[in-house]
């Protein structure tokens, strides 16, 4: 029997560009941008290999006295431009491929808005709704202790993501601080304001989605005050974005979340819907709206579609049915490369996640800066700084897209990858 030894440069399966999953999508996106990198293309493999991957066991005592084990991850994709930065999600479908891709998109996102961070991401494979508050706290603290060897205010700064919030960040900050022997408020962002959190942080991602949407609308001649908007996911991102668009005069005609899909051609009562979601946890059961199938959501006639839920929602199977003029990605990685091509061919403008939802990390940067200085800004100043940075970032990306005749996603990758790889080149390799 003969065997063939792997070549020295063979990639592990999870780094293989043919590997199905979010990481494979990111690798395809990097391949698309490589021809535009010039001399920096010699460093492109830097983007295709995460700097550090940590997989941890998270054992906890359940309330019934039994012990249960969860699998947790923290991936640092790139730290050439500064500490790793990215959220932590608690979800039953978390995988290493997903966390790797999310960390990589954070690298791109941070470079695109030009904040001095690298990219990182974390997660635990768990359905947090099955845990009591005490179990959730014990799991969070154990996970924080396990990843404590690679996080820190100047190393890697976690933040909230899917199914995590200010309270989770408070527990993470306290656990890290206790292990360090001193209070370290800057180890996480998205904390409660009373623990060094920033005003405006909770609404920042949705506000960023709205800001770039308004800027893009100017370029395609879309009047926001008469626009129809459909939103998938109605939490801190989709809910805030929907509220801001409605306040600008737009009609939010359809909303979908895990509780179903609702539709009203004349426009939903967004303030009432937000109260309903806060009280019940989903849009299901909301009065004054028609219930339609989840699949029909993608066919709703609208001007702006905002996917603000999870990855890979717009695919080759539904991209051809979308009726929007513009897609603003509030979620991370909601559109597959195949769907991207279909939307581009149909002249539907896609505002990619790596620029559209960067408002959250931008205000996280503000929070980190405020923690270091122990001097805090008011919300108006924070919002004004956020809007200015988002407008400048979008303007730069738009110009690159026009100059190179590429999509906004590719343009964002061009801007971000050049910044990351230029820094890599300047720093060189050590040793």
What confidence score (pLDDT) does residue 312 get? 84
Same domain? For 175 and 213 the reply is no
The contacts of residue 405 (CB under 8 Å, 6+ apart) are none
159 and 264 part of one domain = no
119-125: strand order across its sheet: 52-61, 67-78, 119-125, 84-91, 156-160
What's the rounded Cα separation, in Å, for the pair 368 and 188?
Answer: 8
Which residue out of 85, 109, 121, 191 is catalytically annotated?
121
Domain assignment present for 11: no
d(CA 352, CA 333): 8
Establish if 25 belongs to a structural domain: no
pLDDT at 2: 43
Does 222 lie in the same domain as 130?
no
Tell whether 206 and 170 lie within a shared domain.
no
CATH label of the domain that carries residue 79: 3.40.50.10860
Q: Which of residues 336, 351, 366 is at a domain's end?
A: 351
Closest of 253, 255, 242, 245 to residue 223, by C-alpha: 245
Domain hosting 128: range is: 50-183
Task: Give the pLDDT score at 14.
Answer: 53
Q: Per the domain annotation, does 395 fall within a domain?
A: no
- Indicate the Cα dihedral angle 25, 229, 412, 353, nearest 10°: -50
- pLDDT (tens digit per residue) in 93-107: 999 999 999 999 999
- Number of folded domains that form the chain: 2
Of the chain, the end-to-end C-alpha distance in Å amounts to 42
Q: For residue 430, tell me if it sits in a domain.
A: no
121 given a catalytic annotation: yes
Q: Verify that 227 and 339 share a domain, yes or no.
A: yes
Strand 326-328 with 304-307, pairing: parallel
As beta bridge partners, residue 57 has: 71
Q: 409 lies in a domain?
A: no
Predicted pLDDT at 16: 56
In Å, what is the CA distance from 346 to each residue of 319, 325, 412? 9, 9, 20
What's the confidence (pLDDT) of residue 412? Answer: 97
Q: Where among 292, 320, 351 does a domain terminate?
A: 351
Question: Domain of 211: which CATH number?
Answer: 3.40.50.720
CB-CB contact of 151 with 180 (8 Å): no
**Is 140 in the same domain as 57?**
yes
CA atoms 104, 109, 114, 119: torsion sign: negative
Alpha-carbon radius of gyration of the chain: 21
The model carries a pTM of 0.91
151 lies in the same domain as 222:
no
Contacts 24+ apart (CB under 8 A), 315-321: 315/339, 316/342, 319/343, 319/346, 320/346
Based on the fold, state whether residues 224 and 178 are members of the same structural domain: no
All residue ranges of the chain with pLDDT < 70 are 1-20
Region of residue 307 (phi > 0: left; psi between -120 and 50: alpha; otherwise: beta): beta
Distance between CA atoms of residues 235 and 257, nearest Å: 9
Same domain, 225 and 158: no
- pLDDT computed for residue 271 by the predictor: 95
Task: Classify the C-alpha dihedral 185-186-188-189 as positive or negative.
Answer: positive
Domain boundary among 183, 212, 231: 183
Same domain assignment for residues 115 and 145: yes
**Is there a domain that residue 371 lies in?**
no
Q: Are 172 and 279 members of one domain?
A: no
Q: Pick left, alpha or beta for residue 24 (phi over 0 → left; psi -120 to 50 → alpha; otherwise beta).
A: alpha
Whether residue 64 is found in the same domain as residue 140: yes
93 domain-assigned: yes
Length of the chain: 431
The closest alpha carbon to 419, from 40, 73, 106, belongs to 40
């Amino acid at each position: 029997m003969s065997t063939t030894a792997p070549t020295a440069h063979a990639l592990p399966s999870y780094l293989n560009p043919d590997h199905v999953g979010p990481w494979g999508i990111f690798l395809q996106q990097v391949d698309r941008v490589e021809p535009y990198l010039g001399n920096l293309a010699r460093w492109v493999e830097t983007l295709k290999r995460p700097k550090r991957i940590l997989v941890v066991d998270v054992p906890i005592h359940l309330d019934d006295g039994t012990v249960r084990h969860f699998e947790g991850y923290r991936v640092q994709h790139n730290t050439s431009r500064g500490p790793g930065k990215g959220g932590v999600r608690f979800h039953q479908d978390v995988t290493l491929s997903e966390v790797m891709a999310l960390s990589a998109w954070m690298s791109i996102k941070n470079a695109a808005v030009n904040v001095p961070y690298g990219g990182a991401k974390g997660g635990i494979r768990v359905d947090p709704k099955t845990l009591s508050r005490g179990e959730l706290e014990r799991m969070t603290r154990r996970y924080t202790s396990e990843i404590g060897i690679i996080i820190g205010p100047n190393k890697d700064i976690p933040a909230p993501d899917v199914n995590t919030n200010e309270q989770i960040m408070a527990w993470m900050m306290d656990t890290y601080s206790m292990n360090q022997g001193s209070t370290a408020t800057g180890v996480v962002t998205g904390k409660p304001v009373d623990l060094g959190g920033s005003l405006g942080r909770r609404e920042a991602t949705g506000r960023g989605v709205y800001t770039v949407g308004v800027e893009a609308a100017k370029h395609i001649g879309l009047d926001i005050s008469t626009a129809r908007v459909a939103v998938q996911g109605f939490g801190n991102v989709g809910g805030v974005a929907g509220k801001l668009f409605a306040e600008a005069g737009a009609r939010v005609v359809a909303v979908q979340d895990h509780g179903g899909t609702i539709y009203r051609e004349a426009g939903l009562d967004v303030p009432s819907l937000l109260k309903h979601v806060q009280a019940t946890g989903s849009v299901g059961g909301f009065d004054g709206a028609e219930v339609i199938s989840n699949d029909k959501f993608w066919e709703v006639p609208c001007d702006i579609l905002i996917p603000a839920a999870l990855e890979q929602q717009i695919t080759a199977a539904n991209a051809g049915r979308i009726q929007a003029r513009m897609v603003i990605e509030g979620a991370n990685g909601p559109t597959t490369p195949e769907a991207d091509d279909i939307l581009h061919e149909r002249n539907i403008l896609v505002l990619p996640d790596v620029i559209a939802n960067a408002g959250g990390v931008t205000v996280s940067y503000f929070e980190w800066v405020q923690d270091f200085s122990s001097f805090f800004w008011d919300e108006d100043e924070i919002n004004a700084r956020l809007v200015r940075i988002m407008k400048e970032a979008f303007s730069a990306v738009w110009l690159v897209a026009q100059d190179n005749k590429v999509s906004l996603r590719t343009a964002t990758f061009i801007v971000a990858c050049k910044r990351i790889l230029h820094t890599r080149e300047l720093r060189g390799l050590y040793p």
